[in-house]
């Protein structure tokens, strides 16, 4: 009778541990999804600002069609990205094209003084800061989730239920600086 009771208690404890580990993996996976959606919101916000910024600069720099086309194509690339890696690469391309857009804007003093341009510039800078924060939060969450997927004993549950490790949102080494948007 005592041996049966001990076995029952052990089975209950194993069951509770199993449920706890499974639920913690689900919770972390959902946190990763939530953190990614926050990055997506900020990237979309930035993408929504870009057409207004391009139109404002176009009014002053009509002969810079290549720059405007590149920015528009880079924005479309970001909007069409589906995976974390594709989004990171599209984000890097967009950052490069924005640098060239702001380089064009530097040649037009009246544009740099335009109130609409200054407001768009400020919103873009604020959005870049939010993207950086969201990226850090996402990567921290991915780290916790991936650790849980790899560490004993939760890795057993993760492999049984096919919990896949999440990708980090990384930038290329040369792209690690925020685009300079001040004049």
pLDDT at 173: 52
Residue 178: pLDDT over 60: no
| Superfamily (CATH) of domain 21-175 | LemA-like domain (1.20.1440.20)
Q: Can you read off the two tokens belonging to residue 61?
A: 């720099």
Q: Is 168 exposed, middle or buried (0-12, 13-18, 19+ CB in 10 A)?
A: middle
Answer for the pair 25, 148: CB distance below 8 angstroms, yes or no: yes
pLDDT at 172: 64
Phi-psi region of 162 (alpha: psi -120 to 50; beta: other; left: phi over 0): left
pLDDT at 46: 92
pLDDT at 183: 43
Three-state DSSP at 173 gives helix
pLDDT at 174: 46
Mean pLDDT of 35-43: 94
C-alpha distance from residue 63 to each of 52, 60, 67, 120 (Å): 18, 9, 9, 21
How many whole angstroms separate alpha carbon 128 and alpha carbon 176?
Answer: 12
Mean pLDDT of 72-92: 93
Mean pLDDT of 176-180: 51
How many whole angstroms separate alpha carbon 81 and alpha carbon 141?
Answer: 21
149-166, pLDDT tens digit by residue?
A: 999 999 999 999 999 999
Residue 175: pLDDT over 60: no
How many whole angstroms separate alpha carbon 155 and alpha carbon 141?
Answer: 17
125-140, pLDDT tens digit by residue?
A: 999 999 999 999 999 9
Mean pLDDT of 59-83: 88
Mean pLDDT of 106-120: 84
How many whole angstroms separate alpha carbon 153 and alpha carbon 35?
Answer: 25
Percent share of the chain, pLDDT over 70: 93
pLDDT at 18: 96
Residue 177: pLDDT over 80: no
* 107 band by pLDDT with thresholds 50, 70 and 90: confident
pTM for this one?
A: 0.80
How many whole angstroms separate alpha carbon 100 and alpha carbon 116?
Answer: 19
C-alpha distance from residue 121 to each of 31, 40, 59, 73, 111 (Å): 31, 20, 16, 20, 11
Q: Where are the domains of the chain?
A: 21-175
Answer for the pair 55, 38: CB distance below 8 angstroms, yes or no: no
């Amino acid at each position: 009778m005592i041996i049966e009771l001990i076995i029952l208690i052990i089975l209950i404890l194993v069951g509770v541990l199993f449920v706890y580990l499974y639920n913690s993996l689900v919770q972390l996976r959902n946190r990763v999804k939530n953190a990614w959606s926050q990055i997506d919101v900020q990237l979309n916000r930035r993408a929504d600002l870009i057409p207004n910024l391009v139109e404002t600069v176009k009014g002053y720099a009509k002969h810079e069609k290549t720059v405007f086309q590149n920015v528009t194509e880079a924005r479309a690339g970001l909007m069409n990205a589906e995976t974390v890696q594709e989004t990171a690469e599209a984000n890097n391309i967009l950052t490069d094209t924005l640098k060239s857009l702001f380089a064009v804007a530097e040649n037009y003093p009246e544009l740099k003084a335009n109130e609409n341009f200054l407001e768009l510039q400020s919103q873009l800078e604020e959005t870049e800061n939010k993207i950086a924060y969201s990226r850090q939060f996402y990567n921290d969450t991915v780290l916790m989730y991936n650790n849980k997927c790899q560490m004993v004993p939760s890795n057993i549950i993760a492999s049984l239920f096919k919990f896949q490790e999440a990708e980090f949102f990384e930038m290329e080494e040369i792209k690690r600086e925020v685009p300079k948007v001040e004049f």
